Amino acid sequence: MKIRSLLAPILGVAAFFGLWELLVRVGNVPTYALRPPSQILRYLFTESTGFPRATYQTGADALKALLIALVIGLAFGALMAASRWFEEAAQPVLILIQVTPWVAYSASVVLWIGGGTKPVLFVATLVCVPAFAFASMTGLRSADPASLEVLRSVNASSWETMWRVRLPGALPSLFTAARFAVGLSLAAVYYTEGGALSNNGLGATGRKALAANAALPLWSTVFCSAILGAIALTSISVLERVLLRWHASQRRATR
């Protein structure tokens, strides 16, 4: 990788933190509201305890929710791609899930399912399913008709067609959905953890800090969540570059 392509994002992030630091110090922001990044980093690395574990907990739950949502979404997408009738039945439900603000019902889910990790996984999975379902439906349906006919000419089974033509062809739209779902999953996990306090994730730590008016731990949870999101998106980009080597989106134009 070129040094230039590594340097640019680092400089961008450094500039952002610098501006933040400057605004907080010059702008007279109350310390209970916002802390400069230098203090957050010092707190995270020298004073705090439990953040690595909390970050791991939140990251693992967000990843689990994403994977479960991917499996369920693929199943829904395959059924919708195969049957208009099923599509018409499932579409309004998926849209309803997509447009209903999950923050409004996540507390009720905690009351219903109970504390701990279960409600966290439930809400995060639920909110991510529609994106994967719609992406798989579109992706599976958009297979090249001529390729499908070549397979029909040797009587390939629908499973063989699915595995060899439709599913690989759906990968680009699934990756797009995954990029969108990463943020959604993290947010749902963080917020629901805050409601189900028995969990040790970042959301629970943040909620406790908020209740105690402790800005440093609160902002540390924000910081750690952002790192999780960045790791997730970078991983998706790497996977994309490997798996979608053939796709137009991954071919660099020579400038």
Residues binding other proteins (CB under 8 A): 144, 146-147, 149-157, 160-161, 164-165, 168, 171, 244-248, 251
Choose between 91 and 161: whose C-beta lies nearer to other proteins. Answer: 161
Choose between 25 and 152: whose C-beta lies nearer to other proteins. Answer: 152
Q: In the bound complex, what is the minimum distance in angstroms from residue 98's beta carbon to other proteins? A: 29
Spatial contact of 190 and 240, defined as CB atoms under 8 Å apart: no
Tokens 């990029």 correspond to 179
Residues 166 and 70: their CA atoms lie apart, in Å, by 16
Q: In the bound complex, what is the minimum distance in angstroms from residue 67's beta carbon to other proteins? A: 22
Spatial contact of 156 and 203, defined as CB atoms under 8 Å apart: no
Give the contacts of 85 (CB within 8 A, at least 6 positions apart): none
How far CA 104 is from CA of 1, 126, 135, 163, 191, in Å, comes to: 45, 14, 25, 39, 11
Spatial contact of 53 and 113, defined as CB atoms under 8 Å apart: no
Q: In the bound complex, what is the minimum distance in angstroms from residue 164's beta carbon to other proteins? A: 7
Choose between 10 and 146: whose C-beta lies nearer to other proteins. Answer: 146
Q: In the bound complex, what is the minimum distance in angstroms from residue 158's beta carbon to other proteins? A: 11
How far CA 21 is from CA of 16, 46, 223, 242, in Å, comes to: 9, 19, 14, 38
Choose between 49 and 157: whose C-beta lies nearer to other proteins. Answer: 157
Choose between 193 and 240: whose C-beta lies nearer to other proteins. Answer: 240
Q: In the bound complex, what is the minimum distance in angstroms from residue 150's beta carbon to other proteins? A: 5
DSSP secondary structure letter of residue 116: S
Choose between 39 and 161: whose C-beta lies nearer to other proteins. Answer: 161
Q: In the bound complex, what is the minimum distance in angstroms from residue 140's beta carbon to other proteins? A: 15
Choose between 65 and 135: whose C-beta lies nearer to other proteins. Answer: 135
Tokens 């500039």 correspond to 15
Q: In the bound complex, what is the minimum distance in angstroms from residue 244's beta carbon to other proteins? A: 8
Residue 145 burial (C-beta neighbours within 10 Å; 0-12, 13-18, 19+): exposed
Tokens matching residue 6:
């590594």
Tokens 């349906």 correspond to 141
DSSP secondary structure letter of residue 165: I
